């Protein structure tokens, strides 16, 4: 059975809302053409529009103390507790104290009155390279299974047509824009599953974009296609060149898809390099037999991240649980794209605490309010139906706090980052968000976890911090020229449609 936490009641607090908006982007920058290399794009990303003058200067610098004062503090750490009204003190990139009231001293003070202060969301599986293809596959499914409605499917349309024509510069702008969009929605950490490694330059472009987004990222090194693809052998170069230090925002995971020939080599290399092994596990791809064989051979470990886990045998599930493997669920995508019914209850019954992930924006939004709501409502729908049918000894209903735990704590555990992030705990890095509880869709605030999961949307994300650095302030991303980056993304989209030979019709697919 799952472990559930009791929700604490909070009192509403009125907050302030008047902030200056970001300065408009310069006309010269808006006229720049699509960048021809990731290096040029990186240079642009670092010299973007200035931040609003209301943003406090110096937050996150080594030794600088910052007090987040008077917020509704949801720590997600049972040993710390929650605070109807509380303060969070930071020093540099770390949280150093949480209490009902902390003396500011010489700290920079951020007024959090009327804001929910909580850990940033953690997305354990997102294909960011597809950002320019948003909603292209809104009505599609995963594979062509012979049914009339499978003409538009992910494997043939996205992977075998669109992805084949990506240039490194397309990879860069898609990754950068997608990462910034998630920052805007309060997602401070992502595992980017980039199935776009057609050459070493493609791989370098992914990593460059993840770095320039300036949020916490796990680089998922998955497959590519073509004569210049170096997967999985290039993993050693990438690990040594970009991920030799653990004291940075970026880490690395090895992709080991068992539906691809030679996956055994990917698993061997990944484990030799000390990397977690992540893979999609979906019954509709006919993976059950191979997955069972790996289970019976004792190949599962605590270093495995199993994405979806639909259609697998009870034996394989038990072996995964016994090995301490992690399961990442993409509930809206699994329901709409015919992966199979999301195995939420299966995880909980085996004592596996899943994380949440957004998967593909070509089909569904990458915001975490959608992920949490879908998980809450689906699990409760199944249990409620059983109750209405007169069944007894039912599993517990998920609570809002459970879904927030999946979206924060369990995501950090799954990505081996729980020593750094996932909760607001003194000693951990300051990856946190401030959500506006005075907004018209939430006010008056009566229940913090409930408001986050059942009422809020991305527009409630007021402030985002990653490792103590402010990345969104007063409802606006800072230090980026979103208008210009959007123009680049559009140019990439136009190229991809043309190169893939697919008509771009805004009303039909």
In whole angstroms, what is the distance from residue 166 CA to residue 488 CA?
A: 14
User: How many other C-beta atoms can be found within 10 angstroms of the C-beta atom of residue 256?
Assistant: 28
Neighbouring-strand partners of residue 463: 434
The pLDDT, as a whole number, for residue 395 is: 97
In whole angstroms, what is the distance from residue 71 CA to residue 114 CA?
A: 6
Cα 350 to the center of its chain, rounded Å: 24
Residue range 123-414, CATH number: 3.20.20.140
Q: H helices within 110-184, ranges in order?
A: 168-184
Neighbouring-strand partners of residue 461: 435
Which of the four pLDDT bands, split at 50, 70 and 90, describes residue 246? confident
Q: What is the DSSP string of 60-83?
A: TSTT-EEEEEEEEE----TTT--E
**End-to-end CA, the chain:** 43
Mean pLDDT of 458-470: 98
Which of the four pLDDT bands, split at 50, 70 and 90, describes residue 146? confident
CATH level 2 (architecture), domain 27-120+426-487: Roll (2.30)
In whole angstroms, what is the distance from residue 162 CA to residue 173 CA?
A: 15
The pLDDT, as a whole number, for residue 33 is: 37
In which residue are the tokens 């500011």 written? 104
**Pick from 437, 434, 433: which is nearest to 13 by CA?**
437
In whole angstroms, what is the distance from residue 414 CA to residue 409 CA?
A: 9
Tokens representing 383 are 């249990």
Secondary structure E strands in 229-360: 250-255, 277-282, 304-310, 326-329, 355-356
Q: Is 0.85 surpassed by the pTM of this model? A: yes
pLDDT for 302-357, tens place per residue?
A: 999 999 999 999 999 999 999 999 999 999 999 999 999 999 999 999 999 999 99
Mean pLDDT of the chain: 90
Q: Return the percentage of the chain with pLDDT > 90, whole number.
A: 85
Mean pLDDT of 256-267: 95
Q: Strand 108-111 vs strand 94-99: parallel, antiparallel, or unpaired?
A: unpaired
Q: Is 60 a residue whose pLDDT tops 60?
A: yes
In whole angstroms, what is the distance from residue 471 CA to residue 474 CA?
A: 10
Polymer length of the chain:
509
Q: What are the Cα distances from residue 421, in Å, to 100, 183, 321?
A: 22, 15, 24
Cβ–Cβ under 8 Å, residues 129 and 465:
no
Q: What are the Cα distances from residue 44, in Å, to 215, 259, 429, 483?
A: 17, 39, 28, 12
Which of the four pLDDT bands, split at 50, 70 and 90, describes residue 123? very high
Q: Strand 115-119 vs strand 432-436: parallel, antiparallel, or unpaired?
A: antiparallel
In whole angstroms, what is the distance from residue 136 CA to residue 371 CA?
A: 20
pLDDT for 410-436, tens place per residue?
A: 999 999 999 999 999 999 999 999 999
The pLDDT, as a whole number, for residue 476 is: 96
The pLDDT, as a whole number, for residue 129 is: 98
User: How many other C-beta atoms can be found within 10 angstroms of the C-beta atom of residue 226?
Assistant: 10
The pLDDT, as a whole number, for residue 148 is: 79
Cβ–Cβ under 8 Å, residues 101 and 87:
yes
User: How many other C-beta atoms can be found within 10 angstroms of the C-beta atom of residue 64?
Assistant: 18
Q: Strand 250-255 vs strand 277-282: parallel, antiparallel, or unpaired?
A: parallel
Radius of gyration, CA atoms only, the chain: 22
Q: Is 5 a residue whose pLDDT tops 50?
A: no
**Domain residue extents for the chain:** 27-120+426-487, 123-414
Q: Is 55 a residue whose pLDDT tops 70?
A: yes
**Cβ contacts of 364 within 8 Å, gap of 6 or more:** 138, 332, 333, 336, 358, 370
The pLDDT, as a whole number, for residue 255 is: 98
pLDDT for 211-238, tens place per residue?
A: 999 999 999 999 999 999 999 999 999 9
Phi, psi for residue 24 in degrees, rounded to 5: -65, 145
Mean pLDDT of 175-186: 98
The pLDDT, as a whole number, for residue 78 is: 97
The pLDDT, as a whole number, for residue 145 is: 87
Full 3-state SS string of 483-498:
HHHHHHHHHHHHHHHH
The pLDDT, as a whole number, for residue 213 is: 98
Q: At what angle do helices 168-184 and 482-500 cross, to 10 degrees?
A: 130
């Amino acid at each position: 059975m799952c472990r559930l936490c009791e929700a604490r009641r909070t009192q509403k607090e009125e907050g302030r809302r008047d902030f200056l908006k970001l300065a408009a982007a310069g006309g010269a920058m808006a006229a720049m053409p699509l960048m021809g290399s990731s290096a040029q794009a990186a240079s642009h990303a670092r010299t973007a529009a200035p931040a609003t003058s209301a943003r406090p200067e110096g937050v996150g610098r080594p030794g600088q103390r910052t007090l987040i004062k008077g917020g509704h503090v949801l720590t997600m750490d049972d040993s710390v507790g929650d605070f109807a009204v509380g303060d969070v003190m930071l020093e540099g990139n770390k949280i150093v104290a949480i209490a009902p009231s902390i003396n500011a001293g010489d700290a920079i003070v951020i007024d959090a009155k009327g804001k929910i202060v909580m850990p940033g969301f953690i997305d354990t599986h997102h294909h960011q390279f597809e950002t320019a293809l948003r909603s292209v596959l809104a009505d599609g499914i995963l594979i062509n299974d012979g049914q009339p409605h499978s003409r538009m499917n992910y494997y043939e349309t996205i992977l075998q047509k669109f992805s084949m024509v990506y240039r490194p510069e397309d990879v860069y702008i898609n990754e950068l824009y997608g990462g910034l969009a998630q920052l805007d929605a309060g997602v401070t950490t992502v595992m980017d599953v980039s199935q776009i490694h057609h050459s070493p330059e493609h791989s370098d472009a992914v990593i460059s974009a993840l770095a320039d987004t300036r949020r916490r990222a796990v680089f998922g090194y998955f497959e590519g296609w073509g004569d210049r693809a170096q997967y999985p052998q290039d993993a050693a170069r990438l690990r040594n060149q970009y991920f030799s230090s653990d004291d940075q925002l970026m880490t690395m995971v090895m992709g080991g898809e068992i539906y691809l020939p030679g996956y055994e080599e990917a698993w061997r290399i990944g484990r030799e390099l000390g990397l977690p092994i992540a893979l999609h596990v979906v019954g509709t791809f006919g993976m059950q037999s191979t997955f069972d064989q790996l289970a019976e051979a004792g190949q599962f470990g605590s270093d495995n991240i199993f994405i979806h886990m639909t259609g697998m045998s009870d034996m394989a599930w038990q072996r995964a649980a016994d090995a301490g493997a992690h399961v990442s669920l993409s509930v809206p995508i699994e329901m709409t794209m015919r992966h199979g019914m999301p195995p939420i209850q299966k995880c909980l019954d085996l004592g596996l605490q899943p994380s949440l992930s957004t998967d593909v924006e070509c089909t569904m939004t990458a915001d975490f309010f959608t992920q949490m709501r879908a998980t809450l409502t689906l699990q409760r729908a199944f249990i409620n139906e059983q109750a209405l049918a007169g069944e007894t000894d039912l599993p517990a209903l998920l609570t809002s706090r459970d879904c927030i735990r999946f979206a924060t704590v369990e995501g950090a555990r799954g990505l081996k980052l729980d020593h750094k992030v996932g909760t607001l705990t003194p000693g951990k890095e300051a990856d946190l968000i401030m959500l506006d509880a005075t907004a018209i869709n939430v006010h008056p605030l009566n229940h913090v976890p409930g408001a986050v999961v059942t009422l809020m949307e991305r527009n409630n994300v007021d402030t985002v911090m990653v490792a103590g650095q402010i990345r969104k302030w007063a409802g606006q991303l800072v230090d980026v020229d979103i208008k210009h980056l959007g123009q680049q993304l559009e140019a990439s989209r136009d190229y991809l449609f043309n190169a893939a030979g697919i008509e771009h019709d805004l009303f039909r697919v």
